[in-house]
Structure 1
Amino acid sequence: MTMIAKTARTLALGFSLLLSAAHGPVQAADGRFTIAVIPDTQNYVDFTHQRAEGFAFDARDMMVEQMRYIADNAVSRGGEIVFATGLGDVWQHPTIAIDPEHAARGFSARPLPDGPQSGMNPDRRTRGVREVEIPASIAAYRLLDGALPFSIVSGNHDYDAQWWEESWPRDLTAPQGDLRRLGMIHVGGLTEWTRAFGVDSAFFKDRPWYVAAHQNGADSAQIFEAGGYRFLHIGLQFSPTDASLKWAETVIHAHPGLPTIITTHDFLNKDGERLPHPVVNQTVVDPFDNSPQAIWDKLVARNPQVFMVLSGHHNGQSFRVDQNRQGGAVYQILSDYQDRNQAALDAGVAADKAPALGDGWMRLMQFDMDAATPTVRVRTYSTHYRRFASDEPNYARWYKPNEQPHLSDEDFLSRDEFTIPLTDFRARFGAPAAVSK
């Protein structure tokens, strides 16, 4: 279905607030509501991190715990969560050496020297992702189905293929900033991903809150209602093409005046810079793809409805605020906890063999639209440890050395527990509409 047709269909439904969470926009009961942000889950469902492969426990259960928590705390079930967004890298491994489109363009393919294809039998890897990783991901997200509107974007690990481009020297000792000396990692093909989470998947087909899609759902848009506002959310694939950005702008123009949140896998690094991963960068050799700064320049900065951008990919956390071309504030937030391995250590795995999993950490962003100046309280919660970061006495000791060793314990925690004043939100989007109590 085309974006225009899908938008027309949704508008015809009138976004009725009488619809259930499974079939239409959800309205929070008052001016306070929460958006759940799900960082990279790839290590939970990695088939090598399950009991069947000799691991200490089934790590995929940690992803299930996250989704169950979100569903149990959805507005439709008496909680405050009105929307959930997954930041990408849903699963871990590729399934093919190179996708047909890139092969037809003349790209060569070589397995990554230190990545998902390294040292692993290709047939075993393909079976693992198709028989374990993808089904586990679908099963976990199925817990959200019918509880609340949600979005999932693709990360680089969700593509069918990952490979080195042979036309670049494979020099991993090059300085991070000297991309010209690095053999470049490429990704291609979203057949498996769109089959699981695309526009025609059971999650999104005929859902009125799923208002637009591009490339079979590789990019998508959703609407949810909360705090007296109707919000537009746009999910963009990893390193989106110009076509993706133009599509997103068309969706924004089709929904004038709506405060808009964008989720994309790679946008901020942990130093708060709009720089791609020093190795995983396609823009150097492929002009069809866009870097984080290009996403800002071509889409975010020029569309005043966009007030927030969420991303993962870079292990750590960061936050920055910039003004768009019209002077409006855009809040940009990174959260990615996939390198955390305390849960494996707790299970008795030796320190030198304990893989990174994520320890169940996720972001809960509580909006308060009743305040004189609306605010967003950002908190980080572990469904595994069942506590917020500020309630875990070992939080900095466990995670700071690997993520932000230069920070004090207090500053490290402040990256995961902070409040954002939405100082210009009322001026840009007006007063909240009356909400039924």
Structure 2
Amino acid sequence: MTQHEGRLPVSRRTLFRGAVAVPAVGAVAPLVSAPTAAADSISAANFDSAGPRFAIAVLPDTQYLFDADSSDPEPLRATFRYLVSERDDANIAFMTHLGDVTEHGTDHEITLASKTFKLIDGKVPYSVLAGNHDINGSTDDQRGDSPYLQAFGPKRFRGRPTFGGSSPDGYNSYHVIRGGGRQWLILALDWRASDQGLAWAQGVLDAHPKLPVILTTHDLAASDEQGQAALSGHGQRLWDQLINANDQIFLTLNGHYWPSGRTVLTNQAGHPVHAHITNYQDRYYGGAGMIRLYSFDLARNVIDVETFSPWFLDTDPARRSQLGAETIELTGPADRFSVEIDFDERFAAFAGVKAADPVPPAAVLVRGTVAYWRFDQAGLTAAGSDGKALPAGTVARDLTGKGNDLTAAILHNSSADVLSWSAEHHPAQPAHASLRFDGGQNPNRAAVLETAAKAPINSMKFTSGYTIEAYFKLPEKFEGQHAWMGILSWEGRAGDAGKTNGYSEDEAPCSLNLSGERFLQYAVYPSVQNSQPTSWSHALPVGRWMHLAVVNDGKRTIIYIDGSPIARNPTQPSTGIATLGKPFALGGTQSAEKFGQGYYGWLGDVRIVDRALKPKDFMTPAQ
């Protein structure tokens, strides 16, 4: 039995668990085995195009696997079986070959390569481009017909869902793929794109002005032994005539040279362009069909890159050769790394989504809304210019009309800039405005907005449940002393409400605070139970707008950050809020009925509803 007979590819996680068993030095495993019908008939897996994570597989120079009578396509077959079987788990959107499919570009080599590529035809979308070994390397894309063009030209891809088209000569092509809920353009250029080829490429970009572009070609950058890449002579031409002026191109991939490496260039728009070279033909067994996975994570704003050989992984560890065991995965800085990209920011100039218009207050007043405050002209009596201090006495109207207006007060002889108006806001926030609080410790600085002495919300018990929502942002440089600053609260002493089973009877009956480690703390003394169930978040990021929701269904409380429930939500009963008829406040929390330091950060729209809302009903709906 050969090493693949009767076996289907298994999960890479399973393969790596087996990869630790290395044969003794001198033990030789068979390197060539024939494909089996079972292995080659794997059906295409599912692909999630809407989720925030997807991968693009990159396959560089395979020329030594298709080299006259020394050819051995089995490593590439293993790679293709892996891509098909793992398309679901790894969410592989596409594979791109970087050229030099073969060593000499002969009919024999091209035919064998074409037959091997049939393993992924219709199962994993892919592109191929010509390297200098696939055609006459002294020619450009106007060379005319060739065995390569007959096998890998436009007729191979015509009718495929991702295929967008090719240049008239057939040697340049593009694909449009979908991943992470958006479209991406893969531009595959010949080893030597002519002026006509570059004009065609520019036409493709002009026809798709809002799509981020990954440019693939065979020769663009070369690297030194430390992995620091620089443009080659031809790469400089591509940069000067195409890449530099087209801000859509954010990533380039090429083979041809070794060792692998990367660099970051700056285009004429002042934005980064990541140039990566990947090539393993100098490695054991001609690279053994080694691939890179570029795993795009739009939630984390990062591309995680890993490099490995499915063929070596899929070999029984007991039969794996020493060199095969050593080449399973490459983990050096040139082959395993992460690229941080704020995708929305990087693509904003050409693909930015038009900012949503402000939402009218009436559209935010869902059933049971007790109070709704916003800080634009509809909500403030004195909304000013960006950064302008708001004077004491400024009123934030309760837009429900129920009499829960807030009035600004400057505390502790703080300077006027402790509270200012800001045009900053969460992208999904109904009002396009916020308040900037500049509170702090030693000495205490604070500004608060409080309801009037007889406002209805002061004494509401919320025994049937409630939802408190707020948009907020912490400054990018979280400087100064801000431990246990309050964001919002009901005033008074828990002890005066008969609550003795908590941290301190001097605490406010309900408060939202931030610890020194930036853990959000929601501490409430329920109106029914003599307890203090407290929820805690993770360490909150700085420089990022967030949406908060405190949801109580009359039995327990769950805190959501950006529509996601936090981990430490207590299961103990919590019914209502032990309010004492004293004001509700934004920007601070009392202890022994005195405010200390104030909030430090931005605060946007705040809404309180007298029932538990589901995430889909938040001011920022759950995605």
Instruction: Tell me, yes or no, whether TM beats 0.5.
Output: yes
Alpha-carbon spacing, 1:220–1:27, altered in 2? closer, same or farther (3 Å): farther
Measured in 2, the distance between the counterparts of 1:225 and 1:245 equals 25
State the percentage of identical aligned residues: 31
- 2:222 aligned counterpart, secondary structure: coil
Number of aligned positions between the proteins: 298
Measured in 1, the distance between the counterparts of 2:232 and 2:171 equals 22
1:375 aligns with one of 299, 302, 309: 302
Q: Which residue of 2 aligns with 1:417?
A: 336
- 2:155 aligned counterpart, secondary structure: coil
Alpha-carbon spacing, 1:258–1:385, altered in 2? closer, same or farther (3 Å): same
- 1:361 deviates by 1.8
Q: Which residue of 1 aligns with 2:102?
A: 91
- 1:425 deviates by 4.3
Checking the alignment, whether the CA contact within 8 Å between 1:38 and 1:363 is kept in structure 2 is yes
Q: Which residue of 2 aligns with 1:15?
A: none
- 1:384 deviates by 2.3
Checking the alignment, whether the CA contact within 8 Å between 2:165 and 2:173 is kept in structure 1 is yes
| 1:421 maps to amino acid | E
Question: Which protein has the larger Cα radius of gyration, Structure 1 or Structure 2?
Answer: 2
Alpha-carbon spacing, 1:254–1:308, altered in 2? closer, same or farther (3 Å): same
Measured in 1, the distance between the counterparts of 2:196 and 2:311 equals 39
Alpha-carbon spacing, 1:93–1:186, altered in 2? closer, same or farther (3 Å): farther
Measured in 1, the distance between the counterparts of 2:267 and 2:343 equals 12
Structural mapping, 1:329-340, within 5 Å: 329-340=272-283
Q: Which residue of 2 aligns with 1:130?
A: 107
Measured in 2, the distance between the counterparts of 1:337 and 1:189 equals 30
- 1:30 deviates by 1.2
Q: Which residue of 2 aligns with 1:274?
A: 231
- 1:366 aligned counterpart, secondary structure: strand
> 1:23-80 deviations in whole A, cap 9, x for unaligned?
9x96525111110000101101112324xxxxxxxx21111111221122224xx541
Measured in 2, the distance between the counterparts of 1:198 and 1:191 equals 10
Structural mapping, 1:360-399, within 5 Å: 360-371=289-300, 374-386=301-313
Measured in 2, the distance between the counterparts of 1:85 and 1:196 equals 16
Checking the alignment, whether the CA contact within 8 Å between 2:130 and 2:191 is kept in structure 1 is yes
Q: Which residue of 1 aligns with 2:62?
A: 41
- 1:89 aligned counterpart, secondary structure: coil
- 1:384 aligned counterpart, secondary structure: helix
Measured in 2, the distance between the counterparts of 1:377 and 1:321 equals 16
Checking the alignment, whether the CA contact within 8 Å between 1:223 and 1:231 is kept in structure 2 is yes
- 1:329 deviates by 1.3
Q: Which residue of 1 aligns with 2:85?
A: 72
- 1:426 aligned counterpart, secondary structure: helix
Greater strand share, 1 or 2?
2
2:258 aligns with one of 315, 319, 322: 315
> 1:359-393 deviations in whole A, cap 9, x for unaligned?
3321111010012xx11001101112219xxxx9x
Structural mapping, 1:27-38, within 5 Å: 27-38=48-59
Structural mapping, 1:247-326, within 5 Å: 247-271=200-224, 272-276=229-233, 291-326=234-269
| 1:141 maps to amino acid | F
Residue 193 (str. 1) matches residue 120 (str. 2): no
- 1:135 deviates by 1.9
Checking the alignment, whether the CA contact within 8 Å between 2:141 and 2:169 is kept in structure 1 is no
Alpha-carbon spacing, 1:189–1:398, altered in 2? closer, same or farther (3 Å): farther
- 1:322 deviates by 1.2
Q: Which residue of 2 aligns with 1:245?
A: 198
Checking the alignment, whether the CA contact within 8 Å between 1:162 and 1:188 is kept in structure 2 is no
TM-score, structure 1 as length reference: 0.62
- 1:385 aligned counterpart, secondary structure: helix
| 1:362 maps to amino acid | I
Measured in 2, the distance between the counterparts of 1:427 and 1:233 equals 17
TM-score, structure 2 as length reference: 0.44
| 1:325 maps to amino acid | Q
1:156 aligns with one of 132, 137, 152: 132
- 1:338 deviates by 0.5
Checking the alignment, whether the CA contact within 8 Å between 2:303 and 2:338 is kept in structure 1 is yes
- 1:380 aligned counterpart, secondary structure: strand
Alpha-carbon spacing, 1:190–1:69, altered in 2? closer, same or farther (3 Å): farther
Checking the alignment, whether the CA contact within 8 Å between 2:47 and 2:92 is kept in structure 1 is no
Checking the alignment, whether the CA contact within 8 Å between 2:261 and 2:276 is kept in structure 1 is yes
Q: Which residue of 1 aligns with 2:441?
A: none
> 1:311-343 deviations in whole A, cap 9, x for unaligned?
0000220111111111121111100001112x4
> 1:334-358 deviations in whole A, cap 9, x for unaligned?
00001112x4xxxxxxxxxxxxx11
Measured in 2, the distance between the counterparts of 1:186 and 1:222 equals 18
Measured in 2, the distance between the counterparts of 1:186 and 1:211 equals 18
User: Which segments of 5 or more consecutive residues in structure 1 lack a partner in the other structure?
Assistant: 1-21, 51-58, 95-128, 166-184, 277-290, 344-356, 400-409
Alpha-carbon spacing, 1:245–1:150, altered in 2? closer, same or farther (3 Å): same
Alpha-carbon spacing, 1:296–1:186, altered in 2? closer, same or farther (3 Å): closer
Greater helix share, 1 or 2?
1
- 1:427 deviates by 4.5
Measured in 2, the distance between the counterparts of 1:379 and 1:69 equals 15
Checking the alignment, whether the CA contact within 8 Å between 2:47 and 2:87 is kept in structure 1 is no
2:181 aligns with one of 228, 231, 234: 228
Checking the alignment, whether the CA contact within 8 Å between 1:32 and 1:368 is kept in structure 2 is yes
Residue 140 (str. 1) matches residue 116 (str. 2): yes
Measured in 1, the distance between the counterparts of 2:168 and 2:80 equals 26
- 1:30 aligned counterpart, secondary structure: coil
Measured in 2, the distance between the counterparts of 1:299 and 1:339 equals 30
Alpha-carbon spacing, 1:187–1:231, altered in 2? closer, same or farther (3 Å): closer
Checking the alignment, whether the CA contact within 8 Å between 1:198 and 1:216 is kept in structure 2 is no
1:61 aligns with one of 62, 66, 74: 74
Alpha-carbon spacing, 1:324–1:162, altered in 2? closer, same or farther (3 Å): closer
> 1:119-176 deviations in whole A, cap 9, x for unaligned?
xxxxxxxxxx323x112211221112111221101000010x357x9xxxxxxxxxxx
- 2:230 aligned counterpart, secondary structure: coil
